[in-house]
């Protein structure tokens, strides 16, 4: 394989399902679909946390946006594990209240 082919193969695109405006389009960082703190709460083993199916590559901007939701996702899971039930609408409203970031205009690629 030529050097050029190796370089092209190593370039990753941002795999976020919804991209923030500042997204570069490149997968510059490794991200876990299920954050480590949530996986540990669910008693996942390290092998499950690092499974390729739990990994995605995101741009710095999309990764920052996703990480900003982790505390809200963690609190929601703790409430659910504590026995609290949510309808989809309640889940969405609850999640939006817990998120500290302001909604941004998102784009689909």
Both structure tokens of 32: 């876990």
Q: What is the pLDDT of residues 20-71, one digit of tens each?
A: 999 999 999 999 999 999 999 999 999 999 999 999 999 999 999 999 888 8
Give the model's pLDDT for residue 106: 46
Sorted by sequence, the CB contacts under 8 Å of residue 100 that are 6+ apart come out as 68, 71, 72
What is the structure's pLDDT at 61? 96
Q: How confident is the model at residue 99 (pLDDT cuts 50, 70, 90)?
A: low
Using alpha carbons, list the distances in angstroms from residue 91 to 4, 26, 68, 87, 95: 47, 31, 17, 6, 6
CA distance 61 to 17: 13
- Give the global pTM: 0.70
């Amino acid at each position: 394989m030529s050097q050029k082919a190796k370089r092209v193969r190593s370039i990753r695109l941002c795999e976020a399902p919804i991209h923030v405006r500042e997204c570069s389009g490149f997968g510059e960082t490794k991200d876990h679909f299920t954050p480590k703190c949530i996986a540990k709460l669910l008693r996942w083993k390290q092998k499950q946390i690092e499974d390729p199916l739990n990994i995605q590559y995101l741009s710095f901007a999309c990764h920052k946006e996703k990480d900003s939701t982790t505390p809200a996702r963690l609190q929601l899971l703790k409430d659910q594990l504590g026995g609290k039930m949510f309808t989809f609408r309640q889940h969405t409203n609850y999640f939006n209240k817990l998120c500290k970031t302001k909604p941004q205009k998102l784009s689909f690629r």
